[in-house]
Amino acid sequence: YSTMTTQKAHVQGSQFVELAPGTLRLYSMRFCPYAQRTRLVLEHKRIPYETVNIHLRKKPDWFLQRNPIGLVPVLEKDDKIVYESSVCNDYLDDVYPQNKLNPTDPYLKARDRQLYETFSNVTSLFMKIAVTHGDNPKVIQRFLKELDRYEAELKKRGKFFGGEKVCMVDFMIWPWFERLPLLNQVLPETRLTQDRFPSLLAWTREMYLLPAVKSTMYDFKTHRAFMDGVRDGNPDYDYGL
Ligand code: GSH
């Protein structure tokens, strides 16, 4: 459902590609887990969109005009601009009602939001471990302890966080599970073990079967190459192109 003229990252000084009326555009970066959250929702809901990738170290002015914070993902359609992955995803779920991902009941919706907003605890520990290669074992313990909350919740809910079907929570947290093998390779103690994380392990296998996951994922080698670039302070946004 995604179209684009070039996948290459647009840099400072590059020409703005005019947005056709009625077309939904995603400003993205190919390896960004936050942008992947939004790509997952776009694919799952089969929403037609185009992608413009941004060079995050040399951002074009026209990108910063759209999001003064300078982060991807950003959505744009006609006169509307939305940024922040959770806001983008909730907006898409409201505007495109097919394959609804958030509960309509306000309390259940609040509970789900709670789960995906507090996932920032996991993402920040993930990056800390990825960058330092876990030279502080306490950080790994904290990381696993945060994941315990998701294991316990999933155990109550079933196959997915949405029960029999995926919901917003599944897509909001998935990108870091796709990247977890990066930590596992260097630090075996970050592996999800069958005795501590049986539900999350089964969930990971189910997630890989989803068309939205298949169409937005990168393989281990690609994630490894990009993450090594991040660690060296020189990420290659066009890796593999
Ligand atoms: N809270 C933001 C969201 O949920 O959308 C985080 C997005 C984010 O951190 N994106 C990164 C980014 O755009 C790429 S993975 N970084 C550019 C920068 O830090 O200047």
pLDDT beyond 80 at 222: yes
The rounded mean pLDDT for the chain is 96
CA–CA dist 137, 189 (Å, integer): 9
Give catalytic residues, as residue numbers.
32
Does ligand 1 come within 6 angstroms of the Cβ of 50?
no
Among 80, 86, 166, 70, residue whose Cα is nearest residue 120: 86
Atom of ligand 1 nearest to the CA of 83: 5
| pLDDT score recorded for residue 6 | 81
Does ligand 1 come within 6 angstroms of the Cβ of 72?
yes
- Which of 71, 81, 173, 236 has the most ligand 1 atoms within 8 A of CB, as the residue to mutate? 71
Cα 29 to ligand 1 centroid, rounded to whole Å: 9
Q: Mean pLDDT, to the nearest integer, of 137-165?
A: 97
Does ligand 1 come within 6 angstroms of the Cβ of 48?
no
pLDDT beyond 90 at 133: no
Cα 32 to ligand 1 centroid, rounded to whole Å: 7
| pLDDT score recorded for residue 238 | 97
Q: Mean pLDDT, to the nearest integer, of 78-93?
A: 98
Does ligand 1 come within 6 angstroms of the Cβ of 176?
no
Nearest CA owner, ligand 1 atom 18:
71
* ipTM at complex level: 0.99
3-state SS string over the chain? CEECCCCCCECCCCCCCCCCCCCCEEEECCCCHHHHHHHHHHHHCCCCEEEEEECCCCCCHHHHHHCCCCCCCEEEECCEEEECHHHHHHHHHHHCCCCCCCCCCHHHHHHHHHHHHCCHHHHHHHHHHHHHCCCCHHHHHHHHHHHHHHHHHHHHHCCECCECCCCHHHHHHHHHHHCHHHHHHHCHHHCCCCCCCHHHHHHHHHHCCCHHHHHHCCCHHHHHHHHHHHHCCCCCCCCCC
Evaluated on CA atoms 58, 63, 65, 67, the torsion sign reads: negative
Cα 73 to ligand 1 centroid, rounded to whole Å: 7
Atom of ligand 1 nearest to the CA of 86: 4
Cα 30 to ligand 1 centroid, rounded to whole Å: 12
Could you tell me the CA-to-CA distances from 177 to 33, 154, 207, 237 in Å, in that order?
A: 10, 14, 10, 21
pLDDT digits 0-9 by tens, 3-42: 666 899 999 999 999 999 999 999 999 999 999 999 999 9
Band the pLDDT of 155: cuts 50, 70, 90.
Answer: very high
pLDDT digits 0-9 by tens, 159-197: 999 999 999 999 999 999 999 999 999 999 999 999 999
Could you tell me the CA-to-CA distances from 24 to 18, 20, 60, 65, 135 in Å, in that order?
A: 12, 9, 19, 17, 43
